[in-house]
Amino acid sequence: MRAQSQNGGDGNMQSKQSANSTEVSVENAGAPVRRPEKKLRAGVLGATGIVGQRLVSLLAGHPWFELTEVAASERSSGKTYAEAVRWHLGAPIPEVARTLVVKGLDPSLDCDFVFSALDSSVAGPAEEDFARAGYPVVSNCRNHRMDPDVPLLIPEVNAAHLDVIPLQQKNRGYDTGFIVTNPNCSTAGLVLVLKPLADAFGLEKIFVVTLQAISGAGYPGVASMDIQGNVVPFISGEEEKMEAEPQKLLGKWDGSRFIDAGIGLSAHCNRVPVIDGHLECVSVGLKKIASLDEVREALRNFEVGAELAALPTALRNPVVVLDDENRPQPRRDVDAGNGMAAVVGRVRECPLLDVKLTLLSHNLVRGAAGAALLNAELLAARGFLKRRVTPSESQLAEPVSR
């Protein structure tokens, strides 16, 4: 159904930012924080990669978690993290990580749970090994996202999907371990924006064209002679992920299986010469008639509940709506909400569907490391993450024979 603008569309809307504004205002979560009684010990698998580095950086000084283990490929094993990593972030390597010895992918790490930022070529079985050994696995990898007993999670969108974890443990013979995943980097921003529209008006069809940053390809990423002054209109597997993952994210868990959202969705994915930030041009078909003002307000007023607002990485309002006609832009807006916001602009009528808009999200924060961290915080708040008894602690607890 065609979205109808009232009183000439958005002409009566007063801009909340001046045309020359370069600042993005994001309301941070202000609810009381429900922290674990004692900091939980985190390990990072694939810690030397570009997403692993983001996780290491985000864990430094985290109020709920402390980094105690880093693991990577065998060629890095045995070195200190500072020796093994080729650091790409602007801030220096956190002191807590510099002297940690890089371990291999053996599930005997001294931590309570692990983040997985592994390459997909090894992530699947490695994550299963850790889950089988009793570690909760918070994964950024694609391997288990579409498994029928694994949550594909964006806390603001489908926190109820965590209810599948006991079934996953039963199906796979896991004890305290399990696997939870976050979506593809381009899917993450898209679905965060679609969620309030789905709630308010319902969704029928989505057409999306992405302009994806080179950091999404990891390091060293795309060869300079391929991307400089160029656009590459193909990213292997990306369109398939963008067309499948939103169905699970926006669908329902009925107590025994996931039911897809059943939305018509077509994606075109392109790599562009931008460092960070995936820009997406989206046309949306709605089930209910809505004015452009109503669409903007649904996005602008999207607010998480008290449980999510209490999480350290969460934003109370994770979608930012800009009224400037030339926003969002990666250079100006990618770090909105410390990289955890989805920034929306150019909300207007679509002659083919109902409404079209442009959105931007930070592919390495909201789309990767920050998404995994937020998932872990929600798991901790709901009691899924607990202190594990390590072999050294077990030995200390054993009575001395006389």
111, 144, 161, 278: the active-site residue = 278
Q: Which residue in 111, 141, 161, 185 is the catalytic one?
A: 185
Under 8 Å CB-to-CB from 303, ≥6 apart: which residues? 316, 317
Q: What are phi and psi of 285, to 5 degrees?
A: -100, 125
| 185 is a catalytic site residue | yes
For 372, residues 6+ apart whose C-beta sits below 8 A from its C-beta are 55, 115, 117, 138, 139, 140, 182
Q: Which of 341, 358, 30 is nearest to 192 (CA)?
A: 341
Other CB atoms within 10 A of residue 204 CB: 16
What's the chain's length in residues? 402
323 sits in the region (left: phi over 0; alpha: psi -120 to 50; else beta) called: alpha
Q: Where are the beta strands (DSSP E) in 79-173?
A: 102-103, 113-116, 136-139
Annotated catalytic residue 161: no
On whether the CB atoms of residues 197 and 288 are closer than 8 A, the answer is: no
In the three-class reduction of DSSP (H, G, I as helix; E, B as strand; rest coil), residue 116 is classed as strand
Nearest of 27, 6, 18 to residue 322 by alpha carbon: 18
- Catalytic site positions: 185, 278
